[in-house]
């Protein structure tokens, strides 16, 4: 075989230079062909395959756009305050503090410290879930025959664990995630009804209100009733911008949101951040 020797393996590896796959990161991100921001401001550009995961640390004020390219992506997202793993996304507080079980533009993703980790700035999908979390090894093994990270049907929890480990986080640091692009409704009797995706091209934009570690697994929603493991590519783009300021309508959209922003600004001011 050509790769049976070190020289052969090196030549084979170098021959791949410049080739592109459907799902891969673009490095540097500024080489992305159609940036959604001012030239030179793109800091993350990647397409995540179905059954794949990704992660990145983003600075306060960075905007992150996720796009369901083909209509069957499901982005399971976790946020941690960078360097403070104990401050992390709290899906329960995100729902109850804002009096709304459904994620929509204008809402905040909150930590259990009463502070904002990210603001949901735009949403063309409307099909999201803050109640169910992501899939597990046991659940996927029962459903698809396997749920290991390296299998053909990886579970979201397994992939988020890998993403966490690459950022110095441990399994104990993984709370329930929120998911975008696959909807769930609560019926009058309290049962959860899967509403599926909005279709190809749906997108959301999150604005980081602190320095955050972002973990994303692109896997089927745990309530997806289809017997097959169906997950299509997710586009991930992030660019330098500015955090939500008091003059922004999103800052004062609700009393609860305003308080969370005030808590965040007070905390950052004590650290010498504006």
pLDDT of the residue at 222:
97
> For the chain, how big is the Rg over CA atoms in Å?
19
pLDDT of the residue at 16:
83
Say if CB 155 and CB 219 are below 8 A apart.
Answer: yes
Least confidently predicted of 14-28, 160-174, 201-215, 247-261: 14-28
Q: Is the pLDDT of residue 258 over 80?
A: yes
Q: Which residues have CB under 8 Å from 224's CB, separation 6+?
A: 74, 182, 194, 196, 230
Closest-CA residue to 251 (of 122, 119, 94): 119
Q: What is the mean pLDDT of residues 205-224?
A: 98
pLDDT-based confidence at 151, cuts 50/70/90? very high
pLDDT of the residue at 266:
96
Q: What is the mean pLDDT of residues 52-63?
A: 98
Residues 128-147 have pLDDT tens digits of 999 999 999 999 999 999 99
Closest-CA residue to 198 (of 71, 76, 112, 111): 71
Count of helix runs (H) and strand runs (E) in the chain: 5, 14
Residues 79-88 have pLDDT tens digits of 999 999 999 9
Say if CB 172 and CB 160 are below 8 A apart.
Answer: no
pLDDT-based confidence at 2, cuts 50/70/90? confident
Q: What is the mean pLDDT of residues 50-55?
A: 98
Q: Is the pLDDT of residue 173 over 60?
A: yes
* pLDDT averaged over every residue in the chain: 95
Q: What is the mean pLDDT of residues 73-84?
A: 97
Say if CB 64 and CB 238 are below 8 A apart.
Answer: yes
Q: Write down the pTM of the prediction.
A: 0.95
Q: DSSP class of residue 61?
A: T
pLDDT of the residue at 9:
83
What whole-number percentage of the chain has pLDDT above 90?
A: 89
Q: What share of the chain is helix, strand, coil (3-state, %, to 5)?
A: 20, 30, 50
Q: 64 φ, ψ to 5°?
A: -120, 120
pLDDT-based confidence at 17, cuts 50/70/90? confident
Determine the Cα angle at 55 with ends 49 and 58, to 5°: 130
Q: Look at residue 24 and give its three-state secondary structure.
A: coil
Say if CB 268 and CB 274 are below 8 A apart.
Answer: yes
Least confidently predicted of 10-14, 27-31, 59-63, 258-262: 10-14
pLDDT of the residue at 1:
55
pLDDT of the residue at 220:
98
- Where do the structural domains in the chain lie, given as residue ranges? 42-270
């Amino acid at each position: 075989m050509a790769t049976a020797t070190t020289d052969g393996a090196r030549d084979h590896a170098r021959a791949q230079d410049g080739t592109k796959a459907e799902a891969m990161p673009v490095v540097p991100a500024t080489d992305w062909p159609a940036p959604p921001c001012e030239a030179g401001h793109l800091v993350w550009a990647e397409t995540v395959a179905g059954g794949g995961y990704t992660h990145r640390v983003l600075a306060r004020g960075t905007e992150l756009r996720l796009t369901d390219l083909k209509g069957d992506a499901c982005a399971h997202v976790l946020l941690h305050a960078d360097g403070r793993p104990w401050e992390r996304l709290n899906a329960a507080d995100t729902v109850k503090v804002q009096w709304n079980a459904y994620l929509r533009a204008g809402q905040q993703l909150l930590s259990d410290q009463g502070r904002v980790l990210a603001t949901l700035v735009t949403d063309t999908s409307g099909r999201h879930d803050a109640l169910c979390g992501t899939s597990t090894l046991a659940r996927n093994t029962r459903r698809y025959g396997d749920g290991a990270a390296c299998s053909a049907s990886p579970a979201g929890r397994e992939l988020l664990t890998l993403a966490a480990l690459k950022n110095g986080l441990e399994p104990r640091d993984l709370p329930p995630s929120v998911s975008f692009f696959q909807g769930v409704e609560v019926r009058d009797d309290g049962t959860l009804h899967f509403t599926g995706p909005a279709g190809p091209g749906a997108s959301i934009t999150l604005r980081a209100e602190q320095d955050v570690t972002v973990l994303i697994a692109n896997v089927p929603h745990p309530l997806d009733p289809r017997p097959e493991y169906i997950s299509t590519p997710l586009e991930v783009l992030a660019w330098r911008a500015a955090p939500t300021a008091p003059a922004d309508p999103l800052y004062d959209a609700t009393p609860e949101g305003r308080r969370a922003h005030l808590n965040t600004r007070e905390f950052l001011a004590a650290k010498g951040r504006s």
